[in-house]
Amino acid sequence: MLLFGGCASLQRHEPIEVIMVGVEPLQGEGLELRMLVKLRIQNPNDVPLDFNGVSVVMDVQGKRFATGVSDAGGSVPRFGETIVAVPVSISVFRIARQVMGVVTNEYRGKLAYEMTGKLAGPAFNSLQFKSSGEFTLPSEIFESGK
Protein backbone atom coordinates (compact mmCIF):
# COMPACT_ATOMS: atom_id res chain seq x y z
CA MET A 1 0.00 0.00 0.00
CA LEU A 2 2.82 2.40 0.87
CA LEU A 3 4.52 1.63 -2.43
CA PHE A 4 1.45 2.75 -4.41
CA GLY A 5 1.18 5.94 -2.37
CA GLY A 6 4.83 6.73 -3.14
CA CYS A 7 4.30 6.23 -6.84
CA ALA A 8 1.30 8.54 -6.86
CA SER A 9 3.46 11.37 -5.54
CA LEU A 10 5.83 10.89 -8.48
CA GLN A 11 3.15 11.37 -11.14
CA ARG A 12 4.10 13.57 -14.05
CA HIS A 13 2.87 17.17 -14.24
CA GLU A 14 1.92 19.07 -17.36
CA PRO A 15 4.31 21.99 -18.02
CA ILE A 16 3.19 25.39 -16.80
CA GLU A 17 2.46 28.15 -19.31
CA VAL A 18 4.01 31.58 -18.76
CA ILE A 19 2.85 34.59 -20.76
CA MET A 20 4.22 38.13 -20.60
CA VAL A 21 1.19 40.36 -20.00
CA GLY A 22 2.67 43.74 -19.10
CA VAL A 23 5.78 45.89 -18.86
CA GLU A 24 6.21 49.01 -16.73
CA PRO A 25 9.28 51.27 -16.42
CA LEU A 26 11.35 51.28 -13.21
CA GLN A 27 14.16 53.56 -12.00
CA GLY A 28 17.49 52.35 -13.41
CA GLU A 29 21.13 52.99 -12.55
CA GLY A 30 23.68 54.50 -14.93
CA LEU A 31 24.06 52.17 -17.89
CA GLU A 32 20.96 50.07 -17.37
CA LEU A 33 17.27 50.21 -18.07
CA ARG A 34 14.92 48.58 -15.54
CA MET A 35 11.41 47.31 -16.17
CA LEU A 36 8.79 45.47 -14.18
CA VAL A 37 7.64 42.52 -16.27
CA LYS A 38 4.29 41.00 -15.37
CA LEU A 39 3.94 37.30 -16.07
CA ARG A 40 0.72 35.29 -16.12
CA ILE A 41 1.47 31.79 -14.85
CA GLN A 42 -1.09 29.15 -15.84
CA ASN A 43 -1.24 25.78 -14.08
CA PRO A 44 -2.89 23.02 -16.16
CA ASN A 45 -2.44 20.48 -13.33
CA ASP A 46 -4.82 19.03 -10.75
CA VAL A 47 -2.66 20.20 -7.83
CA PRO A 48 -1.71 23.76 -6.76
CA LEU A 49 1.87 24.88 -7.40
CA ASP A 50 3.52 26.71 -4.52
CA PHE A 51 6.52 28.90 -5.33
CA ASN A 52 8.96 31.13 -3.46
CA GLY A 53 11.01 32.74 -6.21
CA VAL A 54 11.10 33.46 -9.94
CA SER A 55 13.97 33.94 -12.39
CA VAL A 56 13.63 35.11 -16.00
CA VAL A 57 15.97 35.40 -18.99
CA MET A 58 14.74 37.16 -22.15
CA ASP A 59 16.49 36.82 -25.51
CA VAL A 60 15.64 38.87 -28.60
CA GLN A 61 16.79 37.66 -32.03
CA GLY A 62 18.83 34.95 -30.28
CA LYS A 63 20.81 37.44 -28.19
CA ARG A 64 20.59 37.97 -24.44
CA PHE A 65 18.45 41.04 -23.78
CA ALA A 66 17.18 41.13 -20.18
CA THR A 67 17.46 39.16 -16.95
CA GLY A 68 15.60 39.35 -13.68
CA VAL A 69 14.87 37.65 -10.38
CA SER A 70 12.26 38.05 -7.68
CA ASP A 71 11.75 36.46 -4.29
CA ALA A 72 7.98 36.72 -4.79
CA GLY A 73 6.08 33.79 -3.37
CA GLY A 74 2.62 32.43 -3.69
CA SER A 75 0.59 29.63 -5.15
CA VAL A 76 -0.90 28.97 -8.56
CA PRO A 77 -4.24 27.21 -7.97
CA ARG A 78 -5.02 23.87 -9.59
CA PHE A 79 -6.30 24.54 -13.11
CA GLY A 80 -5.80 28.24 -12.35
CA GLU A 81 -3.53 31.17 -12.93
CA THR A 82 -1.82 34.06 -11.16
CA ILE A 83 0.20 37.11 -12.13
CA VAL A 84 3.74 37.64 -10.82
CA ALA A 85 5.82 40.81 -11.24
CA VAL A 86 9.56 40.41 -11.87
CA PRO A 87 11.97 43.36 -12.13
CA VAL A 88 14.40 42.91 -15.05
CA SER A 89 17.58 44.74 -16.02
CA ILE A 90 18.73 45.57 -19.53
CA SER A 91 22.18 46.89 -20.32
CA VAL A 92 22.26 49.94 -22.62
CA PHE A 93 24.86 48.05 -24.66
CA ARG A 94 22.34 45.26 -25.28
CA ILE A 95 19.74 47.86 -26.26
CA ALA A 96 22.18 49.53 -28.68
CA ARG A 97 23.00 46.19 -30.31
CA GLN A 98 19.30 45.46 -30.88
CA VAL A 99 18.57 48.99 -32.15
CA MET A 100 21.37 48.72 -34.72
CA GLY A 101 19.73 45.58 -36.14
CA VAL A 102 16.35 47.32 -36.37
CA VAL A 103 17.77 50.52 -37.91
CA THR A 104 19.67 48.57 -40.56
CA ASN A 105 16.40 46.77 -41.32
CA GLU A 106 18.12 43.47 -40.64
CA TYR A 107 14.94 42.03 -39.09
CA ARG A 108 12.37 43.63 -41.44
CA GLY A 109 10.30 44.84 -38.50
CA LYS A 110 9.82 41.41 -36.93
CA LEU A 111 11.64 40.46 -33.75
CA ALA A 112 11.74 36.92 -32.39
CA TYR A 113 11.88 36.56 -28.63
CA GLU A 114 12.36 33.72 -26.20
CA MET A 115 11.75 33.82 -22.47
CA THR A 116 13.08 31.09 -20.20
CA GLY A 117 12.96 30.89 -16.46
CA LYS A 118 12.36 29.03 -13.29
CA LEU A 119 9.63 28.99 -10.69
CA ALA A 120 11.35 27.93 -7.47
CA GLY A 121 9.34 25.70 -5.17
CA PRO A 122 9.73 24.45 -1.64
CA ALA A 123 12.32 21.77 -0.80
CA PHE A 124 14.40 22.27 -3.98
CA ASN A 125 11.41 21.67 -6.24
CA SER A 126 11.65 23.94 -9.27
CA LEU A 127 9.70 24.17 -12.49
CA GLN A 128 11.39 25.36 -15.67
CA PHE A 129 9.41 27.29 -18.26
CA LYS A 130 9.98 28.50 -21.81
CA SER A 131 7.94 30.80 -24.00
CA SER A 132 8.70 32.19 -27.45
CA GLY A 133 7.12 34.17 -30.22
CA GLU A 134 7.49 37.07 -32.57
CA PHE A 135 6.32 40.65 -32.46
CA THR A 136 6.15 43.19 -35.25
CA LEU A 137 7.42 46.73 -34.84
CA PRO A 138 5.18 49.58 -36.03
CA SER A 139 5.69 50.31 -39.74
CA GLU A 140 6.19 54.03 -38.95
CA ILE A 141 9.69 53.18 -37.72
CA PHE A 142 10.74 52.10 -41.21
CA GLU A 143 8.73 54.64 -43.22
CA SER A 144 10.36 57.60 -41.49
CA GLY A 145 13.65 56.82 -43.24
CA LYS A 146 12.15 57.13 -46.74
At 37-73, the pLDDT tens digits run 999 999 999 999 999 999 999 998 888 989 999 999 9
CB 119 within 8 A of CB 66: no
What CATH number has the domain bearing residue 42? 2.60.40.10
Residue 35 belongs to a domain: yes
Beta-carbon contacts of residue 25 (< 8 Å; ≥ 6 apart): 34, 35, 36
pTM for this prediction:
0.77
Split into its structural domains, the chain has a count of 1
Please state, rounded to an integer, the average pLDDT across all residues of the chain. Answer: 82
Residue 28 belongs to a domain: yes
Q: The domain containing residue 43 runs over which residues?
A: 17-135
pLDDT digit string, tens, across residues 1-19: 344 444 444 456 789 999 9
Give the per-residue pLDDT at 109: 65
Query: Model confidence at 103, in pLDDT bands (50, 70, 90)?
Result: low
